Amino acid sequence: MATLPPSSIDYRGIDDRSSIVRVISVAGVIFGTLGMSCLPFNFGSFITFGWPVSANNNALDWWCFGSTFVELGLSTVLLFSSLGCYHFKRWGLYGILFWAISSASYGVVGIFFWGRFLLPGARSEYVRMRGQDEVAGLIVWLIGTMLSLVVLRFMTRPAIRGVFRSHVVPAAHPS
């Protein structure tokens, strides 16, 4: 017969709601780490091939340059807030909600810039990036935006938010 752990033990992590939080947290740690480790390679290509922004550049070149810094910041927020969520810290919940809202908003703008090649009048206007074509870039932006919307949907549910409120205080040890 299965028994619950004694009340002196923090029970979070053994029910379905807190398991969802842990799965989202682990995925956030993976994607945050990937973002932080891969984005600095853009700086290397900027140095090798020249800075992409000058007086003669258009809005797409400015977008390419600025998005590197925004993505690096969002990856950092995702990594640290996911670590906090894994341990059911309230600041981790607020951080991952901030990341989800910011990433979804930023993703809509990114889909616009990467999807401009779909418009008949702007077929030749797409972000000039090395290593990716416009379809791959658009698919990546769509997946990233959908991920942030899924995280926002799950982390705002009352049952999930309740996991961050319920904390069993350990019993005092008799001396």
Whether 148 is covered by a domain: the verdict is yes
Residue 161 neighbours by CB under 8 Å, 6+ apart: 93, 155
Question: Where does the pLDDT of residue 104 fall: very low under 50, low under 70, confident under 90, or very high at 90 and above?
Answer: very high
Task: Tell me the pLDDT of the chain averaged across its residues.
Answer: 77
In the chain, the number of structural domains is 1
CA distance 79 to 25: 9
- The residue-averaged pLDDT of 116-120 equals 68
- Amino acid of residue 75: S
Residue 94 pLDDT exceeds 90: yes
Whether 30 is covered by a domain: the verdict is yes
147-153, long-range: CB < 8 A, 24+ apart: 147/31, 147/103, 148/99, 148/100, 148/101, 148/103, 148/104, 148/107, 149/100, 149/104, 151/24, 151/28, 151/96, 151/99, 151/100, 152/97, 152/100, 152/101, 152/104
3-state SS assignment for residue 175: coil
Whether 170 is covered by a domain: the verdict is no
Whether 171 is covered by a domain: the verdict is no
Among the ranges given (39-53, 79-93, 97-111), the one the predictor scored with the smallest mean pLDDT: 39-53
Whether 119 is covered by a domain: the verdict is yes
Nearest residue to 66 (alpha-carbon basis) of 32, 110, 22: 110
Whether 6 is covered by a domain: the verdict is no
Residue 114 pLDDT exceeds 90: no
Would you state the pLDDT for residue 169?
A: 43
CA distance 77 to 164: 19
CA distance 108 to 126: 16
Burial 57-72 (b: 16+ CB within 10 A, else e): eeebbebbeebbebbb
Structural domain that includes position 112 = 16-165
Model confidence over 124-153: pLDDT tens digits? 555 555 445 667 777 888 888 999 999 999
Q: How many secondary structure helices (H) and strands (E) does the chain include? A: 6, 0
- The residue-averaged pLDDT of 11-17 equals 62
Whether 141 is covered by a domain: the verdict is yes
Burial of 163 (0-12, 13-18, 19+ CB in 10 A): buried
Residue that wins the pLDDT comparison between 106 and 112: 106
Length of the chain: 175
Whether 77 is covered by a domain: the verdict is yes
Would you state the pLDDT for residue 60?
A: 66
Question: Where does the pLDDT of residue 158 fall: very low under 50, low under 70, confident under 90, or very high at 90 and above?
Answer: confident
Among the ranges given (2-11, 114-123, 152-161), the one the predictor scored with the smallest mean pLDDT: 2-11
Would you state the pLDDT for residue 19?
A: 83
Would you state the pLDDT for residue 110?
A: 82
| This prediction's pTM | 0.74
